[in-house]
Amino acid sequence: MVRHNVYFWLDPELSDDQKTSFEEGLKALFQIDVVAAGSFGKPAATPVRPVTRNTFDYALVLEFDSVEKHNAYQVHPEHDVFVASFSSWFREVRVFDTQF
């Protein structure tokens, strides 16, 4: 299994409607056939610690049954739609992939 963790820092000028649209775009990624499971969220209100970085706006977690399915997701047309639709809103994106 591969867990694909993506952290997004968005343009602070986005409207509530734009944020809602972004969330709908995240949800659409869950429907891609090679995605086994998915979820997204915002930073938790946990105590501030030196090792915690909670300055991101959204975190996306997708799970794939194999590296091959992860790789197919990266070139999937619906993933391309998400990137084309929202990348202009990204200030920063960080990806952490883990294999289990």
pLDDT in tens, the chain (100 residues): 999 999 999 999 999 999 999 999 999 999 999 999 999 999 999 999 999 999 999 999 999 999 999 999 999 999 999 999 999 999 999 999 999 9
Is residue 62 a contact partner of residue 73, using CB atoms and an 8 Å limit?
yes
Alpha-carbon span 86 to 2, nearest angstrom: 24
Domain segments of the chain as ranges: 2-47+54-99
Which of these, 44, 64, 65, lies nearest to 53 by C-alpha position? 44
Is residue 38 a contact partner of residue 12, using CB atoms and an 8 Å limit?
no
Note the pLDDT tens digit of each residue in 3-18.
Answer: 999 999 999 999 999 9
Q: What is the pTM of this model?
A: 0.94
Euclidean distance between the first and final Cα of the chain, in Å?
Answer: 5
User: What CATH number should be reported for the domain whose range is 2-47+54-99?
Assistant: 3.30.70.100
Distance of CA 33 to the CA centre of its chain: 17
Distance of CA 4 to the CA centre of its chain: 8
